[in-house]
Amino acid sequence: MHIETTGSGPSLVLLHGWALHGGVFAPLVQRLSSRYTLHLVDLPGHGHSRDSDVALSLDATVDAVLARTPPAAWLAWSLGGLFALEAAARSSQMRGLAMIAATPRFVRADDWPHAVEAHVFAQFGDDLRNDYAGTLERFLALDTMGSEHARSELRSLKRDLYARGEPTPSALQAGLRLLEQSDLRANLPAIRVPSVWIAGRRDLLVPAKAMRAASALTPGGRYVEIAGGGHAPFLGHADLVVDALEAFLPELEAAA
């Protein structure tokens, strides 16, 4: 598995979302690398980990990341949040958790109304088999829809999408299954590290209300909402995301 390390200071592990790679975090790298050592993970089947033999499953991926990174805070976006929540619930290596537009359950249920319908991810899986490139572009559009900076964010995601090669179809399907089937709400009360949940108020994939609810279920969870943000607020609202991180991460260092 490819993990790029850059910067200096306390360690921060970054996990990207579906179909992308660690390079998508460039706006955060630019702003944080002078103060933090950033470990940018390419999830299995994505980016420079396209040929990794690690399975894109919660257990295998988390084990591989933990084996390759030092004790650190973890920052996770979207799909990456599932791996971070799994790690937070069972590893003493994690020092803190920053969730960006990520939730323990991505699909709607009677007791979890603030999510998308399950058929959304199933349909993307069907579409991938018929129109790989078009399906990825439609998903990127959904990532940015609603944001007040949607056009510039979409341009950035399209530029990044194939910058490290195409993600493998099998990894994309595995990621969609994780998004559709995972429910890690039971993990939240077991999380014993500080956490911050950064939501975009205009996010159409992970509604802000879901992140507020998740933060309330997590001991010591802190909730931050970016008014104009969509599903990728670290692109169009990078300074606001960094403000939230800089109000959170130094507390971890003080407690260490």
- Indicate which residues carry an active-site annotation: 78, 203, 231
Q: Under 8 Å CB-to-CB from 111, ≥6 apart: which residues? A: none
Query: How much is the CA Rg of the chain, to the nearest whole Å?
Result: 16
- Torsion 154-143-163-99 (CA) sign: positive
Residue labelled with tokens 């003080």: 254
Query: Could you give the C-alpha distances from 1 to 12, 41, 209, in angstroms and in order?
Result: 17, 8, 34
Query: What is the spatial distance between Cα 75 and Cα 73, in angstroms, rounded to a whole number?
Result: 7
How are beta strands 3-7 and 37-41 bridged, if at all? antiparallel
